[in-house]
Structure 1
Amino acid sequence: MQFIITAYDGSDPDALSRRMNVRPKHLENIAKVKEAGHVICAGGITDPEGLLKGSFLVMDFGTRAKLDEYMESEPYVTENVWQDIRIETCNVVVMGTIKK
């Protein structure tokens, strides 16, 4: 089952510094989840100035419960970086890198 997660950081003055402080833990965790085959693609959402303000992840888990287990251990969740999280099922039909 595939999911798209759109997660926005808080809007408080410390939001970006909180993200950057937690980022190493997030990257370590997402690498493990990717190695297990759950990450289709992921990246940052930026504001018009190019500063990070959230994340998007397209993931594949057997069930919503398995995705929820991942989310409960995700550092951006546990460390209160993501404050507005939306999760929807999706159907990925194109995967990999598109070459020009």
Structure 2
Amino acid sequence: MLFAFVCKDKPGHLNVRMETRPEHIEHLNKLNSEGTLKMAGPFLDADGKPCGSLIVINAADIDAAKALADSDPYAKAGLFESVEIKAFNWAFNNPEA
């Protein structure tokens, strides 16, 4: 089942994002190589700077999705003000459909 992580960065934490980015990318690359990651990318503010993330993963259930969200280096570093985890149906332009 697909789950979307809608993550909002804490204000004034761009430095945390940039310092933690290499570990975050390594984490996403691992999920991608396992076939777990479906898509990911940052939300951008009015100035074009990252201010959050959208990550879509495949997980067995909500508990597995929560565990994956908690394992993200950005989450561990305290970057996110909030993380919503929602079941997701990729209806259009899904390359696997």
Report which stretch shifted further, 19-28 or 86-95.
86-95
Aligned residues between the structures: 94
Normalized against structure 1, the TM-score is what?
A: 0.87
Deviations 1:17-63 (A, max 9, x none): 11000000000011101111111111000001100000001111112
**SS of alignment partner, residue 80 of structure 1:** coil
Q: Deviations over 1:59-83 (max 9, x none)?
A: 1111222212212221011100112
The CA RMSD over aligned residues, in Å, is: 1.1
Q: Which runs of 4+ in 1 moved over 6 A?
A: none
Instruction: Name stretches of at least 5 consecutive residues in structure 2 with no aligned partner.
Output: none
Indicate whether 1:73 and 2:57 are aligned.
Answer: no
Give the share of equivalent positions with the same residue, in percent: 26
CA contact (8 A) 1:22 1:76 kept: yes
Alignment match, 1:27: 25
Unaligned runs of 5+ in 1: none
Letter in 2 for 1:45: F
